[in-house]
């Protein structure tokens, strides 16, 4: 089985990639589907303490699905909440597409 760190690392890669490739102008049904995705994801993420905290966090901060930029920023902030909890550095959310879609521009 994957340990908690490996699972988390791969999962964040998937989630941020999905957000960075979400439509810039999603339809109403795409917006609803993406909100449902995160609600379901938070119920079945296979690390129970992680899932319980994530459920609380997205109850307080529901998914922002009105555009690609809104979703990517929202997810970046959710990841930063976990980073802070674990004592990891906070990520600069203005660089989220550079990291997960366009490639580092340096």
Binding-residue pattern over the window 66 to 85 for ligand FAD, x denoting contact by CB under 6 A: ----------x--xx-xx--
Sign, CA dihedral 64-69-9-5, equals negative
Query: Which residue in the set 67, 73, 98, 99 belongs to the binding site for ligand FAD (CB under 6 A)?
Result: 99
CA angle 11, 15, 19 (to 5 degrees): 170
- CA 81 – CA 14 distance, rounded (Å): 18
Residues forming contacts to ligand FAD in the complex (CB under 6 A) are 4-5, 8-9, 11-12, 16, 45, 49-50, 53-54, 76, 79-80, 82-83, 86, 91, 96, 99
């Amino acid at each position: 089985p994957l340990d908690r760190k490996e699972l988390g690392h791969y999962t964040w890669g998937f989630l941020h990639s999905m957000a960075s490739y979400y439509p810039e102008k999603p339809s109403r049904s795409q917006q609803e589907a993406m909100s449902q995705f995160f609600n379901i994801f938070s119920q079945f993420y296979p690390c129970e303490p992680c899932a319980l905290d994530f459920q609380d966090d997205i109850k307080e901060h529901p998914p922002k699905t009105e555009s690609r930029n809104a979703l990517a920023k929202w997810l970046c902030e959710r990841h930063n909440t976990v980073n802070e909890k674990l004592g990891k550095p906070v990520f600069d959310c203005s660089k989220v597409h550079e990291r997960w879609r366009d490639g580092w521009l340096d």
